[in-house]
Homo-oligomer: A and B are copies of this chain.
Amino acid sequence: MGLGGDWDRSPITAAEIKQGHEAVDAALSIGINLFDHADIYTRGKAEKVFGQIFKDRPGLREEMILQSKCGIKLMEPGDSTNSFDFSGGHILSSVDGTLSRLGTEYIDILLLHRPDPLMDPEEVAAALQQLKKSGKVRHFGVSNMSAAQIKLLQAYCDEPFIVNQLHLSLNQLSWLDAGLSLNRPAFKDVTFPEGTIEFCRMENIQLQAWGPLAQGLFSGRALDDQPERVVNTAAMVADLAAEKGTTPEVIVLSWLMTHPAAIQPVIGTVNPQRIAACADADMFPLSRKEWYDLYVCSRGERLP
Contacts and interface: CB of A to CB of B under 8 A. Distances in A.
A179 B85 contact: no
Nearest to A148: B195
A304 B82 contact: yes
B202 A151 contact: yes
Interface residues of A, number: 67
Given A83-B292, A202-B155, A292-B81, A149 B179 contact: yes
Contacts of A84: 303
Contact of A191 (B117, B148, B151, B182): B182
A180 interface: yes
A148 B182 contact: no
B85 A296 contact: no
Nearest to A84: B303
A121 interface: yes
A194 B303 contact: no
Contact of A259 (B118, B186, B192): B118
Given A118-B259, A202-B151, A166 B191 contact: no
Interface string A56-82: 000000000000000000000001111
A260 to B, nearest CB: 4
A221 interface: no
Given A189-B188, A259-B117, A144 B183 contact: yes
Contacts of A174: 183, 187
A83 B198 contact: no
B118 A288 contact: yes
A118 B291 contact: yes
A166 B182 contact: yes
Given A114-B304, A187-B190, 7 more contacts: A81-B302, A81-B303, A82-B303, A83-B292, A144-B304, A184-B191, A188-B191
12 contacts: A80-B293, A82-B302, A83-B289, A83-B292, A83-B296, A83-B303, A117-B179, A118-B259, A146-B182, A185-B191, A188-B188, A188-B189
